[in-house]
Amino acid sequence: MPDTAINQTIVACGQAVDIGTPVVRWDDPGGFRCPHPRGRASCHHHPPELNDAPTRPFDAYRIADPGRAFEELTQAVHQLVLHYDVCYTSRHCHEVLEQSEFMGSHFYLDLDGTVYQTCDLYWKTNTAPADDRKGNERAIHVEMANLSWQARAEESDLFHAEKDLYVKKGKHWQLQLPEAYRNTLRTPGFVARPARAYGERGYFSRKVNGRMVRMWDFTEEQYRALIQLCLGVHALLPRIALKVPFDKDTGRTPLDRLPDFATFQGILGHHHVQGGATPGVKCKYDPGSAFDWARLRRALEAHARKTRRRAADR
């Protein structure tokens, strides 16, 4: 019999949506609390001193009128921004964000496809200021476990890998997790394999915002869960349209900052909103060269077609 006790819901202002894939929320056993939530300036159902102020105890972040707050949030937020976390696992990512002074993320997406929600989506997390410094006000964020270029020994500077952290065993590449993180995944014995490999070398290599990014792909489990998460976030916050950036001339999703990065309504990457054009704002490259934008686009388009057919049949 399936375990019906497994949570599959994400929450905004107390409104819950079942996304059809396991979710561990901040108030669940084993959940992660956002280390540094903030109030959104565009929302007004919380004390204004929670906006861009030093981090308060987590219990201080309370919504005064959840019903009206939800209506306000649906108008304030129109982007879901995808990130790689440059970490081994979601637990590692959470540890890194805890050590920061102000950063956080609404969601983590672990190697085995487990989704972690760290706070109600009403709150802002400082994950991507964007080139206009207003990006966090309009966005929801998900940090997806992937080491990016840190998995390659010759590019590793944060973790100083002595050898490439992906090895080929038979026909498949596998991520070699350090012992400290090997047992932090919720799926016992899970082996992290990239969903796709590029030729014999395994990793993908493309320029993102002017930098050559070399990285192995995300896992099959992550893609499946991410698609469900995107659908669920859209169901809660419809201004986050089920679309990704797409260039009809090239037939691809661009990998540079978008000209309309502030007004785009939908699902996009950190690199789409932050090219480092503003002093003090870093250029970003996530979710990187390996992320399968075409797969995500096809899944969202297929869902939209099904939705239209159902509406026509009524």
Structural domain total, the chain: 1
pLDDT at 1 over 60: no
pTM of the model: 0.96
User: For residue 114, what pLDDT is reported?
Assistant: 98
Peptide bond into 287 cis (omega under 30): yes
pLDDT at 150 over 50: yes
DSSP 148-197: GGGGSTTT--SS--SS-SEEEETTEEEE---HHHHT-SSSTT----BS--
pLDDT at 4 over 80: no
User: For residue 7, what pLDDT is reported?
Assistant: 95
HSE on the CB side for 103, CA within 13 Å?
15
User: For residue 152, what pLDDT is reported?
Assistant: 97
Residue 78 inside a domain? The answer is yes
Q: What is the pLDDT of residues 162-175, one digit of tens each?
A: 999 999 999 999 99
User: For residue 310, what pLDDT is reported?
Assistant: 81
pLDDT at 75 over 90: yes
Q: What is the pLDDT of residues 91-123, one digit of tens each?
A: 999 999 999 999 999 999 999 999 999 999 999
Residue 160 inside a domain? The answer is no
Residue 97 inside a domain? The answer is yes
Residue 245 inside a domain? The answer is yes
Q: What is the pLDDT of residues 181-224, one digit of tens each?
A: 988 999 999 999 999 999 999 999 999 999 999 999 999 999 99
> What 3-state DSSP class applies to 52?
coil
- Give the DSSP letter of residue 120: -
Q: Which domain holds residue 268?
A: 10-148+217-313
97: CATH: 3.40.80.10
Residue 197 inside a domain? The answer is no
pLDDT band at 3 (very low <50, low <70, confident <90, very high): very low
Residue 165 inside a domain? The answer is no
User: Which residues are bridge partners to 167 per DSSP?
Assistant: 174
pLDDT at 125 over 50: yes
Contacts (Cβ under 8 Å, ≥6 apart) of 277: 131, 257
Residue 129 inside a domain? The answer is yes
Residue 285 inside a domain? The answer is yes
